[in-house]
Structure 1
Amino acid sequence: MSLHAHLDSSQRTNERRGSRRRKLWLEAEGAGSAKGADVVIHDLSEEGMLLECSVSLNVGERLEVHIPEAGETLAAIVWTSGKFFGCKFDDPLSSAAVSAALLRSPSPPSETERSTALYVALVELRALAKEIERITDRVDSAINRLNTER
């Protein structure tokens, strides 16, 4: 599964909230190419999505995502690995909106897409394992400090 989208090349400030955001549009049938970078969405769920694009995005960066079936929703970049970016939606999408968007997928996933998805999943799991190890070390250190202070 892959969906195609366009990422606005410039960051915009939303006057009401004051935070900088980029806009991402999922391609709609018959829609022309938007100004900016092409993006491939390798995975879309109610909670978030996996993007691949050539534009550099940073953890914490905000995206304003335009999904034809769901309207506008906000997402944050929660991890990066090269040209792959994991995003979490502020408010989950409905399963109907996700299903409708997935139906836009032009064809079943290729071997390359499956390999890419597996690679990205492994990278994410390794990052999570390192984060768990870091937190475990901090907890152990705190416990040791408490035990020595008694």
Structure 2
Amino acid sequence: MASKINLISNALILIGDLPITSLTGNTRAQTVANNLYDNIVHNELTKYRWGFARKKAQLSKINETPVGTEYDVMYQLPSDLLVFIKMNPSINYQILGDRVYCNYDTNLFCDYIYTVSEATWPAYFSKMVEYALAKDFAMSIRDSASTKQLM
């Protein structure tokens, strides 16, 4: 079971740095990890349609009239959505911002990738994130472009 601190510490060890026990502090490693971690994890989650990070949700209908004449109905996308995968049923739609525009006025569902807690990640994904963190940490923490290239 991975934790944010464990993943960051393992990435730091991979680049030859010392592990951390907390993200609160003023060390270079803590500052870099605090600033880069979420973006790196989101990037890794959105690279593939991971089964463990996939979710299905019923969309909430928005009681407003869409601007224009192309679509009659709007639905709200889930707030935890990272990557949209598919709509169910398969209909003609358009996503603009955080809304789905369509001409379908019944229950609408979507499959998507969301931010999953580290505790539920499979081991292979935890390892992938550690390497991604180490790659980005190498330049910022160790000032080592060669280490980054090796990864």
Answer yes or no: same fold by TM over 0.5: no
TM-score (norm 2): 0.22
Answer 1 or 2: which has greater helix percent: 2
TM-score (norm 1): 0.22
Answer 1 or 2: which has greater strand percent: 1
Larger Rg: 2
Q: Larger RCO: Structure 1 or Structure 2 (Cα < 8 Å, ≥ 6 residues apart)?
A: 2
